């Protein structure tokens, strides 16, 4: 081999080593760059791989431009990666400015708490839709939506009312700027709209006698506040207010978690009764109300709907009929059944009794035939076990004669006289269209809270008559042990009751009105300052032991 060829081979070998060293150093540098600047495979690796596949033929002739090209590519990629970062910074800048507006809204002083009333149905005052409803906190009206051309947006532009509350999400917004308002001074408004109670607060309700002050300056006792008589719904108001002062029932509905997960069939409207009753209960016991009274508008609308207009707002109803329907409807809506599944309603109010029934022969039959019929099995006494939510007490017939002053004599009767119906001995005749029966009743289980319904109204073919007999009753320590069967008396520990609520009816049967006396548990005083131990025209009382 000649010297020239040796030199060429050495030169080519040296060039090859230099190119390999450059290639290896380039690979090492690229690997280091990958470690320093982590990138996705799709954005980085494919362009470099294509460059390396194209360059080997010309690399030996002009190897120098490889690294500047890669460096330019990396700088371009770095610029592309920085653009989203600039967008994020710009977005954060917008969020920061929006956050400053949210926390420093200049229109909060336009809110007028004296006109806010969340007791009525949450419907847009224009479209009458309950979807996406907002309350204007300046005038108190409800409007739908907050986007362009929505009723709330138009109202804000037209009347310069800027602060709105979403009645579902409880979030505040400023319109027409359309940004959320975040301010702790608005918490009192959300609490009035949706009061909440902790377990500790519920446990202390009957231990504290603290007066609350409404926004208009009036003072009230939580739980003992007036219910608005919208037109002729005082019969329902009295019943609802009496039930709201039964502690176990009240405590159950004050905590929404107790019933919100109850499963009901699709399309079932009866659960609306449970929801509205819970909302009303929380409003009645809210210590931070803006007003010292509550409107039961939403509750009564649910009653009208669920009772299929049997009970209405515009027509006077019977308090006992409404009580019976409401307790059974509430029990059913909570998932209860007649025999097996119990609810809070049955746990509080349900007792049991034995009913003894004997069929009587027709009074027009001859005496001998009557005697023969009485020996038949059909006319033997039968006994059935039955449950009850309340006990109906019958009054003696009112006298029709007048006294020396030409006034009707109003008789008086002790409570225990009319309770004798349930002693298991007293028999009473019940007539039907075809048959007559003798019945007697004996209590076998007393509920924790016992309801008496005194039957004052009797209906005939022409009119409804009201019995004015006065019932004298003690308001504490009413012992019902003697009305229980002997085998049950030993099992029943508590048989003594105290009166906690009393509903009375004033006026004529078709025109009168209802009112209620309620016991304040902490002070032990009656809400109506009723200190006498007798009451006329009482419909029913609720007693607890």
Band of pLDDT at residue 467, cut at 50, 70 and 90? confident
**For the segment 511-537, what is each residue's pLDDT rounded down to a tens digit?**
788 999 998 877 666 555 332 333 333
**DSSP letter for each residue of 217-274:** S-EEBTTB-EE---SS-HHHHHHHHHHTT-HHHHHHHHSGGGTTT----TT--THHHH
What pLDDT score was predicted for residue 525? 61
Least confident span in 150-154, 375-379, 412-416: 375-379
Percent share of the chain, pLDDT over 90: 48
Average pLDDT over residues 228-250: 93
Query: Mean pLDDT, the chain, as a whole number?
Result: 79
Residue 91 has pLDDT above 70, yes or no: no
Sorting pLDDT into bands at 50, 70 and 90, what band is 10?
Answer: very low
Please determine whether the domains at 195-346 and 351-446+450-499 fall in the same fold group of CATH: yes
Q: What is the pLDDT of residues 167-177, one digit of tens each?
A: 999 999 999 99
Residue range 131-146: mean pLDDT, rounded = 95
What pLDDT score was predicted for residue 405? 64
pLDDT one-digit tens code per residue, 51-71: 344 444 333 444 444 434 434
Helices 271-284 and 297-306, packing angle to 10 deg: 160
**Alpha helices (runs of H) in 134-186, residue ranges in sequence order:** 151-159
Residue 255: predicted pLDDT: 94
Q: 339 — phi, psi (to 5°)?
A: -115, -50
* pLDDT on residue 82: 36
Give the tens place of pLDDT for each residue, 469-490. 889 988 888 999 999 988 888 8
Q: Pick one of 3.90.70.10, 3.40.109.10, 3.40.50.300, 3.30.465.10 as the CATH number of 351-446+450-499.
A: 3.90.70.10
Band (pLDDT 50/70/90 cuts) for residue 346 is: very high
- 79 pLDDT band, cuts 50/70/90, is very low
Note the CATH architecture for domain 108-190: 2-Layer Sandwich (3.30)
| Token pair of 283 as six digits | 């409003």
User: In this structure, are residues 289 and 227 in contact, taking their beta carbons and an 8 Å threshold?
Assistant: no
Mean pLDDT of 230-238: 92
Percent pLDDT > 70 in the chain is: 76
- The pLDDT assigned to 531 comes to 28
Identify the band that residue 409 occupies on the pLDDT scale cut at 50, 70 and 90: confident
Most trustworthy range by pLDDT among 95-109, 115-129, 369-383: 115-129
Reply yes or no on whether the pLDDT at 330 is more than 90.
yes
Domain ranges in the chain are: 108-190, 195-346, 351-446+450-499
Give the DSSP H/E element, type plus range, for residue 132: none
Instruction: Answer for the pair 312, 225: CB distance below 8 angstroms, yes or no.
Output: no
Predicted confidence (pLDDT) per residue in 249-303, tens digit: 999 999 999 998 888 888 889 999 999 999 999 999 999 999 999 999 999 999 9
State yes or no: pLDDT of 406 exceeds 70.
Answer: no
Q: Between residues 128 and 56, which one has the greater pLDDT?
A: 128
Best mean pLDDT range from 54-58, 62-66, 83-87, 457-461: 457-461
Q: What is the pLDDT, as a whole number, of residue 524? A: 60
> What dihedral angle (degrees, nearest 10) is formed by the CA atoms of 135, 136, 140, 141?
-70
What pLDDT sits at residue 355? 94
DSSP string, 311-373: S-SSS---HHHHHHHHHHHHHHHTT--SSS---HHHHHH-EEEEEEEEEE--TTS-HHHHHHH
List Cα–Cα distances, 162 to 90, 113, 148, 530, in angstroms: 27, 14, 14, 49
- Pick the more confident residue, 491 or 346: 346
Residues 535 and 470 sit within 8 Å (Cβ to Cβ): yes
CA dist 195 and 219 (Å) reads 18
Q: State residue 527's pLDDT score.
A: 53
Instruction: Report, at the CATH architecture level, how domain 195-346 is classified.
Output: Alpha-Beta Complex (3.90)
């Amino acid at each position: 081999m000649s010297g020239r060829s040796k030199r060429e081979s050495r030169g080519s070998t040296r060039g090859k080593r230099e190119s390999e060293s450059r290639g290896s150093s380039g690979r090492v540098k690229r690997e280091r760059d990958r470690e320093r600047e982590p990138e996705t495979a799709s954005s980085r690796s494919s362009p470099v791989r294509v460059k390396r596949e194209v360059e080997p033929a010309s690399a030996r002739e002009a190897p120098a431009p490889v690294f500047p090209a890669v460096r330019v590519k990396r700088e371009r990629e770095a610029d592309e990666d920085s653009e989203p970062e600039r967008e994020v910074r710009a977005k954060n800048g917008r969020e920061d400015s929006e956050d400053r507006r949210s926390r420093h809204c200049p229109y909060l002083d336009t809110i007028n708490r004296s006109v806010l009333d969340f007791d009525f149905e949450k419907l847009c005052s224009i479209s009458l839709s309950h979807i996406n409803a907002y309350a204007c906190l300046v005038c108190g009206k409800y409007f739908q939506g907050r986007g362009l051309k929505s009723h709330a947006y138009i109202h804000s532009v037209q009347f310069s009312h800027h602060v709105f509350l979403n009645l579902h999400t409880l979030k505040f917004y400023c319109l027409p700027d359309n940004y959320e308002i975040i301010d702790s001074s608005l918490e009192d408004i959300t609490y009035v709209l949706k009061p909440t109670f902790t377990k500790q607060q519920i446990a202390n309700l009957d231990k504290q006698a603290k007066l609350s002050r409404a926004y208009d300056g009036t003072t009230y006792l939580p739980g003992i506040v007036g219910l608005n008589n919208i037109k002729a719904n005082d019969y329902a108001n009295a019943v609802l207010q009496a039930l709201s002062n039964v502690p176990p029932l009240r405590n159950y509905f004050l905590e929404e978690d107790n019933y919100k997960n109850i499963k009901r069939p699709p399309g079932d409207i009866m659960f609306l009764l449970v929801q509205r009753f819970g909302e009303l209960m929380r409003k009645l016991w809210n210590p931070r109300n803006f007003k010292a009274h509550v409107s039961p508008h939403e509750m009564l609308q649910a009653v009208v709907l669920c009772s299929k207009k049997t009970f209405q707002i515009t027509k006077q109803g019977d308090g006992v009929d409404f009580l019976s329907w409401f307790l059974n409807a509430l029990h059913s809506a909570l998932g209860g059944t007649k025999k097996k599944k119990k609810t809070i309603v049955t746990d509080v109010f349900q007792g049991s009794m034995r009913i003894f029934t004997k069929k009587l022969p027709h009074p027009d039959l001859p005496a001998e035939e009557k005697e023969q019929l009485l020996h038949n099995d059909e006319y033997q006494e039968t006994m059935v076990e039955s449950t009850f939510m309340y006990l109906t007490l019958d009054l003696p017939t009112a006298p029709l004669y007048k006294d020396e002053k030409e006034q009707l004599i109003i008789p008086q009767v002790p409570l225990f006289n009319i309770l004798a119906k349930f002693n298991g001995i007293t028999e009473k005749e019940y007539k039907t269209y075809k048959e007559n029966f003798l019945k007697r009743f004996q209590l076998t289980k007393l509920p924790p809270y016992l309801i008496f319904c005194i039957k004052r109204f009797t209906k005939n073919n022409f009119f409804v008559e009201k019995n004015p007999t006065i019932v004298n009753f003690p308001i504490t320590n009413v012992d019902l042990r003697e009305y229980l069967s002997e085998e049950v008396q030993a099992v029943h520990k508590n048989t003594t009751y105290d009166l906690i609520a009393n509903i009375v009816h004033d006026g004529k049967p078709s025109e009168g009105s209802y009112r209620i006396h309620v016991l304040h548990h902490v002070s032990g005083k009656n809400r109506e300052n009723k200190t006498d131990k007798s009451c006329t025209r009482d419909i029913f009382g609720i007693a607890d032991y």
